[in-house]
Amino acid sequence: MRVISGECKGRPLKAVPGQSTRPTTDKIKESLFNIIGPYFDGGIGLDLYGGSGGLGIEALSRGMDKMIFVDRDTKAAETIKNNIKACRYEEKTEVYRIESQRALKALKKREFQFDLVLLDPPYAKQRIADDITKLDEYGLLSNGVQVVAEHDPGVPLPSSIGSLERVREETYGSTKLSLYLRREE
């Protein structure tokens, strides 16, 4: 695993030890960022199921100002911190070892507004629609937000969730990417 583009291009990233996570392949990561970017003029992002932190770190390398990483797994949280340190992004990041729904409640209290949300939960435990609903209900999404879900192609997601509408879907073998944007009023 590595950072594909931006200021940390080529920097190697460590994977989470064991079989508890499924790292996003370079091909899918490149496709994802070509869909939503490929570069950013700042903004705050949320990597809700951080794993190794690869997606959020890629977003930082491509211009995001700040990234919040959440993962309930201790090994994952440590791997994220190590990868952040390797990329020298300590000042631009926060890492929380907590379950996703509890994290969203805590982020609501801090009145965050995210410009980019990356959702790549374990395929066996997907609650993507619930997560997006909570993000919307809690006011955690900016007007120009992009929400990207990486999921099993056999798990259909609704075409709209709260104030968000799915505007694009791409399938890459055993992975599907779904992009949601805020609906125009």
Determine phi and psi for 108, rounding to 5 degrees: -60, -45
Give the model confidence (pLDDT) of 132-156 as tens digits: 999 999 999 999 999 999 998 988 8
In this prediction, residue 82 carries a pLDDT of: 97
Domains of the chain: 26-182 (3.40.50.150)
Residues 160-178: what's their mean pLDDT? 94
Contact 176, 138 (CB under 8 A): no
Half-sphere exposure for 47 (CA within 13 Å, toward CB): 27
Give the model confidence (pLDDT) of 33-78 as tens digits: 999 989 999 999 999 999 999 999 999 999 999 999 999 999 999 9
In this prediction, residue 49 carries a pLDDT of: 94
Give the model confidence (pLDDT) of 97-129 as tens digits: 999 999 999 999 999 999 999 999 876 667 899
Contact 114, 81 (CB under 8 A): no
Give the model confidence (pLDDT) of 159-168 as tens digits: 999 999 999 9
Residues 81-98: what's their mean pLDDT? 97
d(CA 93, CA 20): 23
pTM over 0.75: yes
In this prediction, residue 140 carries a pLDDT of: 97
Tell me the sheet residues that pair with 141.
114
Percentage of the residues of the chain whose pLDDT score is greater than 90: 82
In this prediction, residue 88 carries a pLDDT of: 97
How many secondary structure helices (H) and strands (E) does the chain include?
A: 5, 8
